[in-house]
Amino acid sequence: MAMDAISTYLPFILLATFVLTYLCVSLWYVTKKYGVFQAPFIFATIGLLIFLPQFSTIIYNHDYDNELLNTLTYTMVTGLLALVVGFESGKKHKATYCLDINLKRAKPLFLLFFIIGLYGSYKLNNRWIHDVAQSQRTATIIFSNLIMFLNLSLFYALIYVQKYHKTTPIIRIMVIAVVVATSIYIVKWARRADTFRLVITLMFFYSLYRYKHYKYVRFLFIVFIVIGTVLSASVGVYRHNKTEDDNIKLDIIGNYKKSYKLKDIPHGLDLGNAAKGIDYCKTNRSYNLGTFIWNDFIQMYVPRFIVGQDFKEGLKFKIGKDAYDNTKELTKDITTMTSFYDSFAAFGHLGFVFFFLSGWIMGFIWIRAFRSSFYLLFYMLTVYYVPNLATHGFSFLFGNIEMMMIFIFPLLCPFIFRNKQVEKKKAFNKVKKKWFYVLNRLNVKRLNHEVKQGYTT
């Protein structure tokens, strides 16, 4: 009887553990300065709202065994906590100098980025659905990567305004054009990642520019995340109606309610994929030791149409069995396995080290973003992939960092310089002020003593 009771209530205990952990992290970062724009808050809040319906579906759907939730919950909880510890550790790693960008000299380069990005946005708008239907993704991936240059031009324009508190016609054109182009793309294809990127960019920079309004921005940003999560349940229907002749009724609230107890899952389930993938690795004791990072790098940057498929595959490590390749029927051929699967498939129960590493990198960048335009630009390029870190995996985050270091950093090198040693200067000023105070007090005491002794007139 006792064992039956435990097996009955254990899934709900695991659900409560997941909810409380993610909720506590979210509430903790809400109280911090610019807390809602820090990576752990975004991961915890969006992870809670996105995965709560999926976790509930795993409990009630007969396609999933509730025993899958044991290791899955452990991975989800330890992953988030490791991300927080890593982020806070990275923030403590303060340097005496950091790299910065000469924004005025770099304006022609970012204007070029703006033109390239607009071209990529235009081409992507015209061929996205065709490529998906025909499974010809090469051109789509190329144009998607060009969109990053459009993002860079927007970040540059807003950093310029925030730093110099003034604008120019070119800066205004950049901001308006990028916002309009991105908005068209969002409305046309219901792109959640692009919506998040645009909103967090505008809200974060407005908070930097007008911190006294941050409490209002914080409230609006949280409301945006909640509403976006509700709307996310209807994205599939919206895209279907845009591409197919038969329209399905768009019931936003109804679709969100149904997402908690889905009976039929024709397109797979991110968290369900992660649960089955983790169980596959655990059962077969098959781990890739983190080689997926190298394999993803080869997949992204080595063109198959130049070197050939066999040569490209030969560059990849073949360590362990990939759960996705061996559970396509179970996952319904959906590739999104989440970062929880990625971490467990690498080192099993110690896979949280990848979350720690991701958190440390973003914390390291975050603390420097307030002293350096370069790191502020870098942080914006990484933070808007945090939701993808939860739902898709580490490839988006690490791939973006790789692209920044390989393609963007060399172009920025002529405009990069070392910032002044702010930390040392502050420390020196504190010591100087302290000794000045001590010497001043001694001098006052000496004068008082001389007055008493009649040495002065």
Q: How does pLDDT run across 284-318, given as a tens digit for each residue?
A: 888 988 888 888 888 878 877 788 888 888 888 88
Question: Is residue 173 within a helix (H) or strand (E), and if so which, with residue range?
Answer: helix 169-189
Q: Which amino acid, one-letter code, is at 62?
A: H
- Work out the pLDDT band at 457, boundaries 50, 70, 90: very low
Q: How far apart are CA 102 and CA 383, in angstroms?
A: 23
pLDDT digits (tens, 9 = 90+) for 112-145: 999 998 888 887 776 554 445 444 556 666 777 7
State percent of the chain over pLDDT 90.
40
3 state SS of 31:
coil
Mean pLDDT score, 88-96: 85
Confidence of residue 450 (pLDDT cuts 50, 70, 90): low
Predicted confidence at residue 441, as pLDDT, reads 60
Query: Does position 169 have pLDDT exceeding 80, yes or no?
Result: yes
Torsion over CA: 141, 339, 219, 84 (sign)? negative
Backbone CA torsion sign across 354, 332, 226, 23: negative
Helix (H) or strand (E) holding 42: helix 39-60
pLDDT value at 444 more than 60: no
Q: Which of 81-90, 174-183, 234-243, 359-368 has the lowest mean pLDDT?
A: 234-243
Q: Please give the mean pLDDT across all residues of the chain.
A: 82
Q: For the segment 173-206, what is each residue's pLDDT rounded down to a tens digit? A: 999 999 998 888 788 777 778 889 999 999 999 9
Q: Which pLDDT belongs to residue 84? A: 97
Question: Which of 27-41, 62-76, 114-128, 133-147 ranks highest by mean pLDDT?
Answer: 27-41
- 19, burial (CB in 10 Å: exposed 0-12, middle 13-18, buried 19+): middle
Per the structure block, which two tokens stand in for 399?
Answer: 């791939």
- Average pLDDT for residues 205-224, to the nearest whole number? 94
Give the pLDDT of residue 78. 97
Residue 331 has pLDDT above 80, yes or no: no
Sign of CA dihedral 133, 113, 312, 316: negative
Residue 224 has pLDDT above 90, yes or no: yes
Amino acid, single-letter form, for residue 71: T
- Give pairs for 48-53: CB < 8 Å, separation 24+: 48/19, 48/22, 48/23, 49/225, 49/226, 49/229, 50/229, 50/232, 50/270, 50/387, 50/390, 50/391, 51/18, 51/76, 51/270, 51/271, 51/390, 52/19, 52/260, 53/233, 53/256, 53/259, 53/260
d(CA 102, CA 105): 6
Q: pTM here?
A: 0.85
pLDDT of residue 94 exceeding 90, the answer is: no
| Distance, CA of 320 to CA of 12 (rounded, Å) | 33
Terminal Cα-to-Cα distance of the chain (whole angstroms): 98
Q: How far apart are CA 378 and CA 29, in angstroms?
A: 21
pLDDT at 237: 62
Determine the pLDDT at residue 246. Answer: 63
